[in-house]
Amino acid sequence: MLRILVHVLLAVELGAGFGTASAELISTSSNAMEVDLRVEVTQSAESVIAHLLADGETPIALPLLQREAGVFGIRTELKQVNYRVVFELLGPDSAQSEPHSLMALGVQLPGVEPVSTTTTDPEALPDDVTRWLWLAVAFAAAALSALAFWVLGGDDRQSSSEEVASTDSAAPDI
């Protein structure tokens, strides 16, 4: 159960004809590791290929087997390297996913700490400042809405009191 939960939490959304993808480390030896790659396909596919790339290594192309409807995967033995994986969909609408490292897909390599590959914009605001700015925008919108209701509500009361006064003065005395 815990293994399935970790598998789901570490899945990466790929887009472009693909659903989520994940990789699981099955076992390791002194210089190799056994990895289970899995990808969901959201469109019709004749076959799916996983391209594994690493600096200084020969690229590897692995055909994935259909495990269930819309899910392809393979269990294979690789060098203990954090490969970049690109999934390729072959069929009526061929597509390729963005590259993701094995670690980003869920493999924890022995002795290797996960490294963040995101870059930060030096002009980007911190999260807490951004939250306060959005809160200020929400309050401003609420204040403008209240002002609009007050102004429009005042016109309705004024026009209805004018109508009552004009009907009272225009009514003949009997």
Which tens digit of pLDDT belongs to each residue from 100-151? 999 988 888 876 655 544 455 556 667 777 778 888 888 888 888 888 888 8
Higher-pLDDT residue of 4, 112: 112
Q: d(Cα 77, Cα 25) in Å, to the nearest integer?
A: 10
Q: Does some domain include residue 114?
A: no
Average pLDDT over residues 27-41: 91
Rounded (10°) CA dihedral 62, 67, 70, 75: -30
Same domain, 94 and 11: yes
Same domain, 13 and 55: yes
Same domain, 74 and 155: no
Q: Does some domain include residue 35?
A: yes
pLDDT at 90 over 80: yes
pLDDT at 16 over 50: yes
Same domain, 60 and 15: yes
Give the structural domain span for 18.
2-101
Same domain, 10 and 75: yes
Cβ atoms 42, 17 nearer than 8 A: yes
User: pLDDT category, 5, cuts 50, 70, 90?
Assistant: very low
b/e map 83-120, b = 16+ CB within 10 Å: bbbbbbbeeeeebebeebbbbbbbbebeeeeeeeeeee
